[in-house]
Structure 1
Amino acid sequence: MLKMDSPGDIFQSRLYRFNRVLLSLLGQWPFQKNRHRRIVFVTVSFLGITQAITQVLALVTLRGDLNATLECIPPLIVDCACIVKLVNLFCNMEKIKILLIHVQRDWQSWAIQSEFEILHKFAETGRSITIGYASGMYAFGCLFPVMAIIPKIIDENVVSNYSTRPVGFPYHVEYFVDLDKYYYPALIHNYLATAIRLTTIVASDTCVAILVQHCCALFSIVRYRLEHIRKSVEQDKELALLEEDNKIYKNFTYCIRKHEDALQFASLMETVYTKAFFIEVGLIIGAMSLSALEATSGSLTPQLAIRHGGYIMAQLLHLFIACWLGQEVIDHSSRVYTSIYRGEWYESSPKSRKLLNMMMLRSISPCTLTVGKIMVLSLPSFSAVVRASASYFTVFRSVQ
């Protein structure tokens, strides 16, 4: 069992340690010291933005070459998505801090052993998602730079077809300096920016994952209390001294409070991420369409196929996780309604049953995470976005 002596202890545990480290590397962990956070954030932002600027300059330089231009756009779209994620974290830091404090409070105030087990189960799931997602994104994301540097390692004299992308560079860049002279400083800058880009995506998305899992845990606690009324009453020491009917009544009032907590938690999450999701989904559609266009071009080599294939897989993983997390919120919030029926409500007094009516009415409409209030994130929306990307790819292919 976890023992917590201070509010921050839960985030020092193995359950959330990886998330804390990832956000701290970007200067976006709400509990960091302000000075340290600002230094890290400015450094990361400077490296990332200067990398994006060099890619924009390369795009301008190559504007007469359609194939090279198409190569420039997908990485630049990813840069835009990273900027959106970083800005969203920065602008909503106080709200994210409120959500994390909510998590701390719930870990300190569980009433029965079953609640602790539910919190632990969902936190473990969040940790597994974090590790799995990070592994996948870093693996797919590293294909671009790794496949770019291999020719340089094998043959130092190999040359590139483009001055904006010397051998070893994963993307087209334009520094307006002699890259033969400043090759290694520019290469290091590129690879550092790539690492920052991947860390931004992983840190932001896994932060959503642990918050969604905690939200689902709150709904599951309510469902357990409703479905196992007798067990809950027996485990809760505060209810042990009350009269029989008062025990059930107090259990139901506890469920209502917890349900309201879960609803507020889900609502605040939606507020934090809905605008960012709107921009990100649009960028993902464009990135996947253009990457697929490059991957099916006649001049594609096996090396480039692997790079673009990894890029597309990373985008699909990114999109799938967001939609799956949205589906989790829908499923767990809507199941409260059926849990009320499954419990031993018939043994309670009319006064207690009236409390359940309130919860049933609120549970009819499930909580959701949306894309700018336009589209609900869910598994059906994942297939819809993939189909949209395929449609745009077909259009681009016909125009090319």
Structure 2
Amino acid sequence: MYSRLLFPYQMRIRLCKRMIYLKTHDQYFSLNRILLLAIGLWPYQQSNFTRLQFIFLSTILTSSFIFQCTPLISQKCTPDFVAKVLSSASFFALFVVKYNMFCINMEAVKDLLEQLQLICNELKDNNEFAIINEYGCSAKRVTAALTICGICSVFAIIAAQFSSKIFDFILPINVSQIHRIPITVEYFVDQEKYSYWILLHINVAFCVGATAMVGIGTTLIAYLQYTCGMFKIASYRIEHAMNNNMLRNNNLKNKFLIFEGLIFAVDMHRHAMKLSKHLLSSIEPMMFCLIIFGVASVSLNLYRIFQITSLDDTSLNVKELIMPSLCAGITILYMFLSNYIGQHVTDHNHDIFVTVYNIRWYVAPLHIQRMVLFLLQRKSKEFILNVGLFVVSIEFFATLVKTSVSYFTVIYSTQ
């Protein structure tokens, strides 16, 4: 079993002992660093310029959200109109919450990355470096995939806005067309005259928000991926300490090495749980707000989709469906990934105890058996990641989707 655990990692990278740098130049955080630097949120390079950058971009995001809510004041409100306004406003609220609350917790995130760096510096052998590199590569792939999705979403939104102008340029017609703004806003100016400035404001806000969602989200995912690697290292240390050669040669040196290996495994397990819990406790207010606005966004955008599909103008339907469809799809994807990584951490913790069950602890000396039984007793207290009363898991994702669909059904039944 010991050889089976090591073989995949020995084959994937060249085993040479080296330091792993997580903060500024690490190859696995390079894309996260670029995304967060672009919006002034990279924790390690804060200057007066980045503070001004944050104030400027935060103002753009917040003002965009406010101008999406002002139609509720300036125009006559009907249930359908309120749902139309709030469908986009609730989605942009996710951007505002994510961007501003991460800035508030930036020092806590920096401290967590520092602690993770210290733990990675204490890895014992080449196989442990291989394991942490494996999870680092996985985090980098997720970051790249979500970055591509974000770019495609921004491109789809902008292309939908200018599609009518493009077709009018290719196939010119005599009738002038009004340039349509994709969402309902009220800037208290002539929106036809200043339509391009309004579109610029909305598109910049969307780009900033999308960059924040991808950059912040993938950084947190990468951090939890590294904690999963720590759980895997704890499993490796247990198997390494209790391998057959150690148990067969029952001398004082081997007993000491078994004790030492189990202590190092327990220490790594404890650090992994501590860092995972610390991260969730640091961002708990942000996650709680995202849950509320996420459910509202999915419900209202589903209702908006049904509103548009019930209209007779098919050409208009296709254009107006893009924004609510993207908002609902992005929000559901974000819900899934957030809960999936929480489930991933819980499963890795469970794998440690599967490893303890499978080792031949019953042939070890009695005092070592007692130590292993101590590990098994820890399984009675389940390790979960939670946001308040909510447990971050695939089951909770299903609950969120079910709740969103239920609210959508209630709203739709009242029309």
Counterpart CA distance in 2 for 1:359 and 1:305 is 54
C-alpha deviation, 1:186, in angstroms = 2.7
CA contact 1:75–1:171 (8 Å) conserved in 2: yes
Mark the runs of 5 or more structure 2 residues left unpaired by the alignment: 1-13, 170-174, 247-251
Counterpart CA distance in 2 for 1:397 and 1:133 is 32
Alignment partner of 1:89 out of 87, 96, 102: 102
Q: Which residue of 2 aligns with 1:395?
A: 410
Aligned length: 386
**Is 1:205 aligned to residue 217 of structure 2?**
yes
| TM-score normalised by L of structure 1 | 0.88
Partner amino acid, structure 1, of 2:212 = T
Equivalent residues in 2 for 1:199-278 (5 A)?
199-229=211-241, 243-278=253-288
Q: Select between 69-78 and 172-181 the one with higher mean Cα deviation.
A: 172-181
CA contact 2:22–2:113 (8 Å) conserved in 1: no
SS of the aligned residue for 2:77 comes to coil
Q: Which residue of 1 aligns with 2:136?
A: 123
Equivalent residues in 2 for 1:18-33 (5 A)?
18-33=31-46
Q: Once superposed, what is the RMSD of the aligned Cα atoms?
A: 2.6
| TM-score normalised by L of structure 2 | 0.85
**Is 1:332 aligned to residue 342 of structure 2?**
no
Mark the runs of 5 or more structure 1 residues left unpaired by the alignment: 161-165, 235-241
Alignment partner of 1:114 out of 117, 121, 127: 127
Partner amino acid, structure 2, of 1:398 = S
Counterpart CA distance in 1 for 2:49 and 2:377 is 47
Alignment partner of 1:34 out of 24, 47, 51: 47
CA contact 1:292–1:308 (8 Å) conserved in 2: yes
Q: Which residue of 2 aligns with 1:352?
A: 368
Alignment partner of 2:296 out of 279, 286, 291: 286
Partner amino acid, structure 1, of 2:413 = S
C-alpha deviation, 1:32, in angstroms = 1.0
Q: How far does the alpha carbon of each residue in 1:115-162 deviate from its partner, in whole angstroms, 9 at most, with x for none?
A: 1111011111111111222322443454333312212332376545xx
Equivalent residues in 2 for 1:44-55 (5 A)?
44-55=57-68
Counterpart CA distance in 1 for 2:322 and 2:304 is 12
C-alpha deviation, 1:382, in angstroms = 1.4
CA contact 2:242–2:359 (8 Å) conserved in 1: no
Q: What's the % identity of the aligned pairs?
A: 23
Partner amino acid, structure 2, of 1:249 = F
Partner amino acid, structure 2, of 1:174 = E
C-alpha deviation, 1:369, in angstroms = 2.4
Q: Which residue of 1 aligns with 2:84?
A: 71
* Distance verdict in 2 for CA 1:361–1:231, change over 3 Å: closer
Counterpart CA distance in 2 for 1:149 and 1:76 is 22
CA contact 1:333–1:363 (8 Å) conserved in 2: no
CA contact 1:212–1:329 (8 Å) conserved in 2: yes
CA contact 2:99–2:209 (8 Å) conserved in 1: no
Partner amino acid, structure 2, of 1:366 = E
Partner amino acid, structure 1, of 2:197 = P
**Is 1:365 aligned to residue 375 of structure 2?**
no
C-alpha deviation, 1:214, in angstroms = 0.8
Q: Select between 144-153 and 212-221 the one with higher mean Cα deviation.
A: 144-153
Partner amino acid, structure 2, of 1:322 = S
CA contact 1:327–1:377 (8 Å) conserved in 2: yes
